[in-house]
Amino acid sequence: MKTLTVQEATKLAKANQTPAISLYLATDIPGKDGPIKMRHNLQKLYKKAESLIVRTYAPNTRERLLLPLKKMLSMIGLSRAKGGIGIFHNEHFSGLVKLPTITSDLAVAAESFHIKPVLRCAHLRSNYYLLALGKRQASLYLVTADQTHLVQRVTFALPPVKQLSGERNNRHLLADKIRILRQKDIKENMEQLNRKLQTRWLSERIPLILAGAHHHQLAFRNACSYFNLLERGINCNVDYHDKDELTNLSLEVMESYFEEQETLSVATFNKAEASNLTTTDIEEIARAAANGQVQSLLVAEDRHIWGHLDRDTGEIQIVDHSEQTTVDDLLDDLAELTLNKGGEVTVLPSKKMPKNLMIAAVLRWRNNPSTMGNMHQLHLDTWHYQPGARQELRA
């Protein structure tokens, strides 16, 4: 079983081998018996996936698919950790990814891998730069969802020895002169650092967070013109922290920043409603996604609409997950389809979704504006499956 990074796991949306099994297991279980409970929960997930596969596929397919998965699951070491793990398996591939957040255990057997929880984690841990400003050098790190690695290190030239003139017995005067000279040295160092990094800023758009003494950060801000330099930094002496410690200090700041971006995505949707280019009708969104019309998509992280999606036409069929065989979460499928067509996807907790919806989209264009008056709004707690009836998704 290959260990994946979060960024690699997001690419599973393009895998098309079927059937595909996706298991999500929470590992943040308190108590000494946490590993035992996790093992029990993992066995339950396997049994759920097994029941879904057995309903649909021939015995030889079941054996080729399930026996290797069962063996691999027995070999996974489980220990208590924040978040959880995602496990992906089909006849040609098996992978595992550690995730910083998982809302609940989940087993899905479908025509494609279920990656909505991965998309949520990838968004909360989007790439950013961390610039550590020390006394003698500055280190630029790139922080991804899975690792922190050094991009560039700049060593500052030692300041020339300066002869201080004035009254040697006047300690206050001497201290003021030393302070002024130090400020000048820091200013020159930060200007030098900005010149060395300036070409990188021309092609980058990801956030940049500063770590270091307040006066070092202030001097760099005065020299730097990078548009995505965050106002909030980390006040600390970076010479006493390694890169992992600096990353941990930055996570709280950055998670707050990315949550603000989620709020902004909802505000963008609300603002776009006046342009007649928004929709909350899942059937309309599916057709638009297939046509590449979806500019940005918002989907609820902890809700599901089970069914089938024709990725070429955008036609959908909503079914009862408890009575059907292998089905996928349409919210997950539409997120994958939107990404593959060049759109943006934001996975949000239900409480952050516009108007308590499961899905909402901003379109690049609309084929038939007259349909706006006939939209259905899909709310979290008002849709129920009725076998044999035409399914309408109402407010």
Token pair for 353: 């979704």
Give pLDDT tens digits for 33-53: 888 999 999 999 999 999 888
pTM for this predicted structure: 0.70
**What's the rounded Cα separation, in Å, for the pair 188 and 216?**
11
**What's the rounded Cα separation, in Å, for the pair 87 and 102?**
13
Q: Which of 122-126, 159-163, 273-277 has the lowest mean pLDDT?
A: 159-163
Tell me the CATH architecture of domain 276-374: 2-Layer Sandwich (3.30)
User: How confident is the prediction for the chain on average, in pLDDT?
Assistant: 83
Q: What is the DSSP string of 15-59?
A: ---SSEEEEEEE----STTHHHHHHHHHHHHHHHHHHHHHHHS-H
**What's the rounded Cα separation, in Å, for the pair 219 and 182?**
12
359 pLDDT tier (thresholds 50, 70, 90): very high
CB 127 within 8 A of CB 41: no
* Site of tokens 């603002």: 271
| Domain assignments of the chain as residue spans, ordered by start | 2-124, 128-258, 276-374
Q: What is the pLDDT of residue 364?
A: 93
260 pLDDT tier (thresholds 50, 70, 90): confident
**What's the rounded Cα separation, in Å, for the pair 298 and 360?**
5
Mean pLDDT, residues 206-210: 93
The answer, yes or no, to whether residue 225 has pLDDT greater than 60, is: yes
The answer, yes or no, to whether residue 132 has pLDDT greater than 50, is: yes
10 pLDDT tier (thresholds 50, 70, 90): confident
Q: What is the pLDDT of residue 170?
A: 61
Classified by CATH at the fold level, domain 128-258 comes out as Nucleotidyltransferase; domain 5 (3.30.420)
Question: By three-state DSSP, how is residue 114 classified?
Answer: coil
**What's the rounded Cα separation, in Å, for the pair 298 and 295?**
10
Percent residues over pLDDT 90 in the chain: 46
The dihedrals phi and psi of 282, each to the nearest 5 degrees, come to -65, -35
**What's the rounded Cα separation, in Å, for the pair 100 and 116?**
14
Mean pLDDT, residues 182-207: 86
Give pLDDT tens digits for 146-182: 789 999 999 987 655 555 555 555 665 555 555 555 7
Closest residue by Cα to residue 196 from 131, 128, 127, 126: 131
Q: What is the pLDDT of residue 97?
A: 93
Amino acid found at 239: D
**What's the rounded Cα separation, in Å, for the pair 223 and 265?**
31
Q: What is the pLDDT of residue 161?
A: 52
In the CATH scheme, what is the code of domain 2-124? 3.30.960.10
Question: By three-state DSSP, how is residue 76 classified?
Answer: coil
Give pLDDT tens digits for 319-348: 876 555 667 899 999 999 999 899 999 999
Q: Which of 121-125, 136-140, 188-192, 211-215 has the lowest mean pLDDT?
A: 121-125
Mean pLDDT, residues 94-112: 88
